Each structure stands twice: as structure tokens, then as C-alpha cells.
Amino acid sequence: MSKKRLSGISTEAPKKFDKEVIKAATTEILKELDELQNLLYAEHKWSVLVVLQGMDASGKDGAIRNVFSPLNPLGVKVQPFKAPTAEEASHDFLWRIHQHVPAKGMIQIFNRSHYEDVLIQRVHKWIDEKTVRQRMRSINDFERLLADNNTVVLKFYLHISKEAQLQRLTERTEDPRKMWKYNDKDLAEAKLWKKYMEAYEDVFQECNRIPWIIVPSDNNWFKEYIIAKTLRDALKELKMKYPALPK
């Protein structure tokens, strides 16, 4: 398989999609999701892990707010992964991740994930290439364990352009409601854009047993539609049923 180049994939919504039509469709999908989540929780057979990856300002937080907040919070958990604590760094990289995988009936969202351990850590050369390969293999093993245990794993890469990122990062310095998100390290990270793209392309190739979904994310309305639709379709495929009364 030849490697997928992110530069060859548009970050914008395809022209054939109309913003207002899609927003209305998303609203309908969210209603369906509400019912499907209830069924997921009641049946207690499957679980869902949603992995959100993307560059700074690619819209991970917005996706969580707009797609998942209409759902019953009893059945949805969000876990952000930031730089490891000293205790986390004293264990293998999947130790802290594994603790947060969803129980049966639950939808778990990872805001960043175990993939950072082969992205930021690799781009900054905090780990050597042998460790990168070991970790990629461990990720594949780990995701198979989850799949064996009836966990549906949906991995989204929120694909934005370098220009869209720069604009959004600049907004954080100007809009009082966004300043709290400003981090002066973000601009330094943004300069590593090309290295991050290469690291992501490698991830899509090497950790693809459970396939990645690349979401054009310059337009939030399109991004939210794709995530909601993918989740809805995945849940429908499970052919879930409400349990009857115990005999």
C-alpha cells in the first residue's frame, strides 16, 4: 500500500454539500444517536471508543461539545490526555490509556490519545525509532484486545489546513472568550507542521488494522456531520436489542 499523503486530501467540505442542508441532517442524526445510545447502555454488550486526534485548533473540543453533549452524560465519558505525570511516565505508555477504556454500554471519548506517544514524542525525538516501532505494534495489539472485547473503536483525524490553524490560533490572542486556550507553545509546535504530517501519515499506514477516518475539518459543520454520521452508522450496524425481563 502506498502511503497516504495528507497534502493530497482536501481540508474543506466537498462542494456538493450545502451548509444549511448538512446542519439540518446533523440535527436529525443527533436525535437518532440519543436513542441508539440508550440502547447501547441498556443492552450492556458493546462499548464505543472515540479517538479524536488532530493538530492544535483542529476542533476537537468543539466536536465533543456539539456532537456528544446532546447525549445522556450517564453513558458518555470524556478523557483528555496531556503530558504524562511522573507516575504515568513510570509505566508503559498504555498504562494510563487502558484505565480509561469504556465499560460495556459506555461511549468513551479520548481527546488526544495513545497516538500522541508516536506523534509529539516522535516529532521531538524524545524517543528513538525502535521505540516508535515497538509502540506502533503495541497499539495494534491493544486495539485488537479492545475489539475482541466488543469495543467499537472509531479513530478520527481532524484534518485542517495550516492556514486555518494559523487563523484559529490568532483568534485565541484576540477573542476574550478564546484567550484561555492560548498557549505560547502552540506557535512553536505549528512550525513543526511538516514533521507532524509525516508522523501522522506513518500512523495511518502502520496503525490501520482499525481504520482511520480522515475528516476534512476546516468547516466545523462538515466535521460535526461526519463524526455524528460515522457514530450513528457504527451503532446501527450492531443490531442492538433491548434486553427482555430475566426469566
Q: Which of 65, 124, 144, 209 binds a copy of itself (CB under 8 A)?
A: 144
Q: Is 99 in the site for a copy of itself (CB under 8 A)?
A: yes
As given in the structure block, the three cell numbers for residue 229 are 454520521
CB of 86 to a copy of itself, least distance (A): 9
What is the C-alpha to C-alpha distance for residues 192 and 58, in angstroms, rounded to an integer? Answer: 15
Which of 14-22, 142-150, 164-172, 199-207 is the region at the interface with a copy of itself (rule: CB under 8 A)?
142-150
Site string for a copy of itself, 42-81 (x = CB under 8 A): --x-------------------------------------
Asked if 60 contacts 115 with a C-beta cutoff of 8 angstroms, the reply is no
Q: Is 145 in the site for a copy of itself (CB under 8 A)?
A: yes
Collapsing DSSP to helix, strand or coil, 138 comes out as helix
Strands 47-54 and 107-111: parallel
Q: Which of 65, 72, 95, 175 binds a copy of itself (CB under 8 A)?
A: 95
CA dihedral 180, 182, 185, 188 (to 10 degrees): 170
Task: Write the CB contacts of 122 (distance below 8 Å, at least 6 apart in sequence).
Answer: 132, 199
Cell 463524526, residue located: 227
Task: Tell me the site size for a copy of itself, rule CB under 8 A.
Answer: 24
Q: What is the DSSP string of 208-225?
A: -SS-EEEEE-SSHHHHHH
What is the C-alpha to C-alpha distance for residues 34 and 41, in angstroms, rounded to an integer? Answer: 11
Q: Please say which residue, 137 or 194, places its beta carbon nearer to a copy of itself.
A: 137
Which of 10-18, 31-39, 141-149, 207-215 is the region at the interface with a copy of itself (rule: CB under 8 A)?
141-149
As given in the structure block, the three cell numbers for residue 81 are 490526555
Q: Is 104 in the site for a copy of itself (CB under 8 A)?
A: yes
Q: Is 11 in the site for a copy of itself (CB under 8 A)?
A: no
Q: Is 126 in the site for a copy of itself (CB under 8 A)?
A: no
Q: Is 87 in the site for a copy of itself (CB under 8 A)?
A: yes
Instruction: Give bridge partners of residue 241 from the DSSP assignment.
Output: none
Identity of the amino acid at 223: K
Q: Which of 6, 42, 127, 146 binds a copy of itself (CB under 8 A)?
A: 146
Q: Is 101 in the site for a copy of itself (CB under 8 A)?
A: yes
Identity of the amino acid at 145: L
Q: Is 94 in the site for a copy of itself (CB under 8 A)?
A: yes
Q: Which of 15, 20, 85, 90 binds a copy of itself (CB under 8 A)?
A: 90
CB of 91 to a copy of itself, least distance (A): 6
